[in-house]
Amino acid sequence: MIKGGCYCGAVRYEAAEPILFRGQCHCRECQYISGGSANVVVGLGADGFSFSKGEPAAYTRPDLPHPVTRKFCATCGTHLLTESPGLTGVKIVKVGTLDNPEIFGQPERVIWTCEKQSFHHIPEGVPAYEKFPPRAGE
């Protein structure tokens, strides 16, 4: 079982393993959420995911054609996860909220490098994409 939560402890979650993916995103939106760095995330199955304490607040930008929904603690502001319309059935969980962030290891892929800053680091040998990796069959 994977567990985690926000900085103040008001919101906690649990998720069944396995981790579906490990990623690093450099998009400008993630830079806002992370405070300027790339965002490191793990993909967890939505079916095995639940909030065990509290409920997060949610924000979806109304001006975007296919916006993600970001869930965060309304008390301390910790950004917990993202739900993407393009990844149904997956919770994109922020590594810093995991009780054991070491399970991340390193990303399996790096995305949105077209928006990365000069001070961002892309790990050597990890596949990197200007936006998203091609889907199977593309």
H or E element: which one contains 125?
none
Q: How far apart are CA 74 and CA 101, in angstroms?
A: 22
Mind listing the pLDDT tens digit for each residue in 105-131? 999 999 999 999 999 999 999 999 999
Provide the mean pLDDT of the chain.
94
For residue 138, is pLDDT > 60? no
Q: Exposed, middle or buried by CB within 10 Å (0-12, 13-18, 19+), for 135? A: exposed
Q: Where are the domains of the chain?
A: 7-115
For residue 135, is pLDDT > 80? no
How far, in Å, are 1, 55, 61, 87, 120 from residue 68 at the CA level?
Answer: 26, 18, 8, 10, 23
Q: How far apart are CA 102 and CA 87, in angstroms?
A: 24
Dihedral, 10, 1, 92, 114 alpha carbons, nearest 10: 120
CATH 2.170.150.70: does it fit domain 7-115? Answer: yes
- What confidence tier does 137 reach under pLDDT thresholds 50, 70, 90? low
Q: How far apart are CA 125 and CA 2, in angstroms?
A: 27
Between 132 and 96, name the one with better pLDDT. 96
For residue 13, is pLDDT > 80? yes
Mind listing the pLDDT tens digit for each residue in 42-101? 999 999 999 999 999 999 999 989 899 999 999 999 999 999 998 899 999 999 999 999
